[in-house]
Amino acid sequence: MSNSILLSPLKSKHLDLSNRIAMAPLTRCRAKDNLVGEMQVQYYSMRADAGLIITEGAPVSSEAIGYPDIPGIYTRQQVEAWKKVTDAVHQKNGKIFVQLWHVGRISHPVFLNGQLPLAPSAIQSSTLARTKNGKLPRPIPKAMSFEEIQKTVKDFAQAAENAVEAGFDGVEIHGANGYLINQFLCDGSNKRTDEYGGDIPSRCRFAMEIIRAVTETIGTSKTGIRLSPGGIGNDIYDSDPKSLFGYLIKELDLMDLAYLHLLEPYQDLSHLPNTVQSIAKHFRSMYQGTLMINNGFQMASAEQILQEGFADLVSFGKLFISNPDLVNRFRINAPLNAWDEDTFYSEGPKGYIDYPIFESNS
């Protein structure tokens, strides 16, 4: 594959990567007591051949948690634990960003010491919370006060500072998939009448304040953001996502970030008004910086979208779960392991660090 763009280095203003294959953020629910351990060290270091690893979402505070056994980035103990992961990846000459996460209304009091989840507005999600006690209905969340919004912005900035101390090469702000930032962006979940709700610029204010706080803390060169302009998961809805994300992405284009990470839709959106089906193709012209695209790509489709110039990087999720040596398999055109969905969120090493590495018989 000597003519492969996917396998070629990426040298942008802020990134110097050995290839254009990124490992997408993947929640795996194996971090006991919200701490990474030896399994995570092995899991990530096995995948260090990726041009860039983006870790599973790491909550920026105890109020940001919404799933069992996910690793935080807000305590001293968590920072020290992550250092072992970043050291292991760097020893293999890998690059690794941590994804900064707040789930907002997609939480449950079981994760929050009995408190209600925070959200832009008191609008309940109809989805179920996955807990150790099974799937539970989510409550009506608490609409955030101005003070709670400002605290959350500071939490993201502090988490970014913690990430750099932990040895990460940068951070990815999670603005996608129906979580807190996405809830502020979309008019289906944001009914505020203050400066954080109403028209598109006001609904984007929370996201922009977080991005500015993070970049002022660690620099634009270490800051990326993930958005899902075609996302309708976790009960998220906007009446005009084409205009909403067109505005936001043009604003982000002015900020000189490390990258913008976009998700293609999980399903056909043609029945919904003002939607975009081909995300990278539609938004590429609005964003001149490094653009990463995700969702359902195989090697051939990833090569094609890079060849066409609609993206600079492609991130892979499930393929990296089942193929820790994905980069090498692409390089030698080896067969791929199938993934086992039953072990995506289970406990222990099965389906986590036991997928086989390809060994050629030649």
According to DSSP, the β-strands at 142-143 and 118-119 are: parallel
Q: Rounded to whole angstroms, how far apart are CA atoms 123 and 210? A: 22
* Site of tokens 């760097």: 90
Active site residues: 179
As a whole number of angstroms, the distance between CA 317 and CA 128 comes to 23
Report the C-alpha gap between 51 and 23 in whole angstroms.
8
Q: Are 14 and 290 in contact (CB under 8 A)?
A: yes
For every residue of the chain, which 3-state class applies, written as one string? CCCCCCCCCEECCCCEECCCEEECCCCCCCCHHHCCCHHHHHHHHCCCCCCEEEEEEEECCHHHCCCCCCCCCCCHHHHHHHHHHHHHHHHCCCCEEEEEECCCCCCCHHHCCCCCCEECCCCCCCCEEEECCEEEECCCCEECCHHHHHHHHHHHHHHHHHHHHCCCCEEEEECCCCCHHHHHHCCCCCCCCCCCCCCHHHHCHHHHHHHHHHHHHHCHHHEEEEECCCCCHHHCCCCCHHHHHHHHHHHHHCCCCCEEEEECCCCCCCCCCCCCCCHHHHHHHHCCCCEEEECCCCHHHHHHHHHCCCCCEEEECHHHHHCCCHHHHHHHCCCCCCCCHHHCCCCCCCCCCCCCCCCCCC
Which are the contacts of 332, defined by CB distance < 8 A and separation ≥ 6? 1, 358, 360
